[in-house]
Amino acid sequence: MNPRRHLELARSLVAGVRQGAPASPGAGEAECRCAIGRAYYAAFLVARDFLNRIGVWVTPTAAAHPAVRFALNNSGVAALGAVAAQLDALSTDRQYADYEPDDPRTETADAAEAGLNSAATAIRMLDLIAAGRVHPPVDLPAVAAAILAWAKANGQDAKIRRA
C-alpha cells in the first residue's frame, strides 16, 4: 500500500469533524487524534522509503522513528533537516494523541489539520528532492554518503547502514 493513503484517511477524518459528522460518536476528539497519527505515519513511511531509495537502510524496529530523523538531520541538506524537524513535531504530536488522553491539545480539527498539512508538505518536499525538481538539485549519492558516514562515526550503523 502506498503510505500516502494514510494521509487520505487523515483528511477524511478531519473533513468529517469539520462537517459535524465525525466517524464515531462524540465531538471528533478520537478522529482528530487518529488523523494526527495517520499523518505522522504517512510522512514517516515516505521518508523511510526515500532513504531506502537513495541507498540507506533503516532498522525496521521501533528505533526507526528517531533513526529516520537522525538520518535526514545529518544529510547535510537543510531542506531534509527541515523535514526531520517536521517529523519530530509530528511524532511528538502523535505521542500526545496516542498516549496522553487527558491532554486535549490534539483533539481539535485545527490541530489535526495542521498535522496533516505539515505531513503533506514534508512528503511533497521529499518527492521533489527525489525527482530532482529542486534548484539547485540535491546530490542524492552525496546525501547517502553523508548519512552513512555520520552513522558510522556515531555508532548508529546498527540502525542506519548501506541498503
Partner 1 sequence: MSVTLPTPPAPPADAVPPLPADVRAFADRHNLAEHLPTTFRLIREEFDPVGEVAMRVRDDSEVEGHTSLVLNVPVRGDVSSVLDRYYRYLERWVPVTPPDARMRLTVIWTFQP
Is 84 an interacting residue with respect to partner 1 (CB under 8 A)?
yes
The nearer residue to partner 1, 25 or 62, going by C-beta atoms, is: 62
The nearer residue to partner 1, 25 or 158, going by C-beta atoms, is: 158
The nearer residue to partner 1, 6 or 118, going by C-beta atoms, is: 118
Is 88 an interacting residue with respect to partner 1 (CB under 8 A)?
yes
Stretch that binds partner 1, among 5-13, 22-30, 110-118, 126-134 (CB under 8 A): 110-118
Kindly identify the residues of this chain, within the stretch 36-75, that bind partner 1 according to CB under 8 A.
Answer: 62-63, 65-66, 69-70, 73-74
CA quadruple 35, 47, 62, 76: dihedral, nearest 10: -130
Count of residues in contact with partner 1, rule CB under 8 A: 30
Which own/partner contact pairs does 74-81 have at CB distance under 8 Å and 24+ positions apart? Answer: 74/146, 74/147, 74/150, 74/151, 75/143, 75/146, 75/147, 76/142, 76/143, 76/146, 77/129, 77/138, 77/143, 79/125, 79/129, 79/134, 79/138, 80/129, 80/138, 80/143
CB distance 62 to 44 below 8 Å? no
Is 117 an interacting residue with respect to partner 1 (CB under 8 A)?
yes
Stretch that binds partner 1, among 25-33, 40-48, 50-58, 88-96 (CB under 8 A): 88-96
Here the cell at position 70 is: 537522525
Contacting positions for partner 1 (CB under 8 A): 62-63, 65-66, 69-70, 73-74, 78, 81-82, 84-86, 88-89, 92-93, 95, 98-99, 105, 108, 110-111, 113-114, 117-118, 121
